[in-house]
Amino acid sequence: MNLTAALFGKTFQFKDLKEVMAKANEEKSGDQLAGIAAEDAKERMAAKLVLSDLTLADIRNHPLLHPETDEVSRVIEEAVNEKIFAEIRNWTVAEFREYLLRQETRNEEIRRISRGLTSEMVAAVAKLMSNLDLVQAASKMEVTTHCNITIGQRGVLAGRAQPNHPTDSIQGMKASLYEALSYGIGDAVLGINPVIDSAESVKAILNATKEEMDKWQIPTQNCVLAHIKTQMRAIRQGAPADMVFQSLAGTQDGNTAFGIDVKLLDEADDMIRREGTGTGPNLWYFETGQGSELSAEAHHGIDQVTLESRCYGLAKKYKPFIVNTVVGFIGPEYLYDSKQVIRAGLEDHFMGKLQQLPMGVDVCYTNHMKADQNDMDNLAVLLAAAGVNYIIGVPMADDCMLNYQSTSYHDIATLRELMRLRPAPEFENWLEKMGIMENGRLTPMAGDPTIFM
């Protein structure tokens, strides 16, 4: 494995794959915080050059985190199809990039070779791609999933209704939910983040969303984004959950910090299959985001793009209905400004899709980050072009509970009109029945939440 590159009359020598992977990243404040980023632009390019000549076998043969010591590595390693890997093991990362971008490489081919990939190979190729490369390659990949309805079809842009309330008031939550539905949002999930992470609270919210689904015959699925243990307690107490939710990290230590491990996820998986109310087969909702491993001091010197890709390798095991990267939530110490957030959003969407995940993105930022709503407009358009399965819908993009800004009900409706995208088919039929949508466009009634009172 050659770890040397000559560039501008200087020889750059890297000590191992971990260093090459980190330094080949586009600039991220999180990699700088971890002390593993490229020193300057030239060193970054030297790392990219070295990486482009490595083979997929080189990457697999030099694990960044050994499967013997890390269960996320084990999950990723065990999922590799050896026959397919044998076909592509001698490709360089450069050749892999060109393969993905070639016109004759279609969704079917990518889906097949994806079974021979590890998360590290996926991260490696993302590091050699431009933003437009990431958009184009991702746009080829169609990942459809089914919980109570199907989403992810080409030409469909779904939305999560995220009607959070700062005191978990059921009445207040329903008010924001009615507003969402009246704009045609809620086909991905009616998903609420509770303030109080307790079984009682989870149960009350699941009951409330289920009530609305039953009353108005809404073809969608519900979920409450509490800790998995809390959801399991609520389900045991009879709460109606179509899906279960959990945040994931890309290392075993990171997951320990989240209070989870593979064994617990397996238990929850078993439970939602036996005791959940969703049709399936896809019954999970996962969230991820670059930087969470470093935040938990569980990154093992590995860069945040690679760790994010490993989250997807873990997520894949549970065949989720939806996955999203909460890309700008973590703060400026990991993604400093709008340029870094936009890059990370495109990387995450691409890396997830290449691992056959139903990727959504929470296009978002916090108030201590150098970004604003205009930057979110930009990223949302890019992701819609890349074929993102869903984005988040919050009233006027302002989440009054989590204290950050995402995308709005208006934004999803606008992207659908602008990019000729539609809600999930079953949901669109329902919107037509309710008089909210006609031929893919909102009717004059849309935007009036009292139609659900």
d(CA 35, CA 27) in angstroms, rounded, equals 12
Q: How far is the CB of 18 from other proteins (least distance, A)?
A: 20
Q: Does 453 bind other proteins (CB under 8 A)?
A: yes
* One residue of 200, 261, 267, 426 binding other proteins per CB under 8 A: 200
Q: Does 449 bind other proteins (CB under 8 A)?
A: yes
Q: How far is the CB of 431 from other proteins (least distance, A)?
A: 14
> Is the separation of the CB atoms in 290 and 304 below 8 Å?
yes
* One residue of 87, 266, 398, 438 binding other proteins per CB under 8 A: 398
Q: How many residues bind other proteins (CB under 8 A)?
A: 83
Q: Does 227 bind other proteins (CB under 8 A)?
A: yes
Q: How far is the CB of 149 from other proteins (least distance, A)?
A: 23
The shares of helix, strand and coil residues in the chain, as percent rounded to the nearest 5, are 50, 15, 40
Which 3 state secondary structure label does DSSP give 45? helix
* One residue of 280, 301, 425, 447 binding other proteins per CB under 8 A: 447
Site for other proteins in 77-116 (CB under 8 A): none
Residue at 452: amino acid letter: F
Site for other proteins in 281-300 (CB under 8 A): 287-289, 291-292, 295-296
Q: Does 448 bind other proteins (CB under 8 A)?
A: yes
* One residue of 404, 422, 430, 437 binding other proteins per CB under 8 A: 404
Contact mark string toward other proteins, 248..277, x via CB under 8 A: -x------xxxx------------------
For other proteins, give the closer residue by CB, 9 or 444.
444
Site for other proteins in 43-82 (CB under 8 A): none
Contact mark string toward other proteins, 409..428, x via CB under 8 A: -x--xx--x-----------
Q: Does 196 bind other proteins (CB under 8 A)?
A: yes
Residue 189: its H or E element: strand 189-192
Q: Does 237 bind other proteins (CB under 8 A)?
A: no
Q: How many CB atoms lie within 10 A of CB 94?
A: 16
Which 3 state secondary structure label does DSSP give 241? coil
Question: What residues form DSSP beta bridges with 391?
Answer: 159, 361
Query: Which is nearest to 115 in space by CA: 91, 88, 150, 143?
Result: 88
Q: How far is the CB of 155 from other proteins (least distance, A)?
A: 18
Q: How many CB atoms lie within 10 A of CB 442?
A: 17
Site for other proteins in 133-172 (CB under 8 A): 163-172
Q: How far is the CB of 412 from other proteins (least distance, A)?
A: 9
Backbone torsions φ then ψ of 307, nearest 5 degrees: -65, -40
Segment interacting with other proteins (CB under 8 A) among 19-27, 141-149, 331-339, 385-393: 331-339
Q: Does 229 bind other proteins (CB under 8 A)?
A: yes
Q: How far is the CB of 205 from other proteins (least distance, A)?
A: 12
For other proteins, give the closer residue by CB, 30 or 63.
30
Site for other proteins in 358-397 (CB under 8 A): 366-368, 372-373, 394-397
CA dist 90 to 17, 61, 171, Å? 17, 12, 59
When computed from its CA atoms, the radius of gyration of the chain, rounded to whole angstroms, is 21
Q: How far is the CB of 167 from other proteins (least distance, A)?
A: 6
> HSE on the CB side for 117, CA within 13 Å?
28
Site for other proteins in 5-44 (CB under 8 A): 29, 33
d(CA 75, CA 73) in angstroms, rounded, equals 6
Long-range contacts made by residues 400-403, C-beta under 8 angstroms, separation at least 24?
A: 400/164, 400/165, 400/166, 401/164, 401/165, 401/166, 401/193, 401/195, 402/164, 402/193, 402/329, 403/366, 403/367
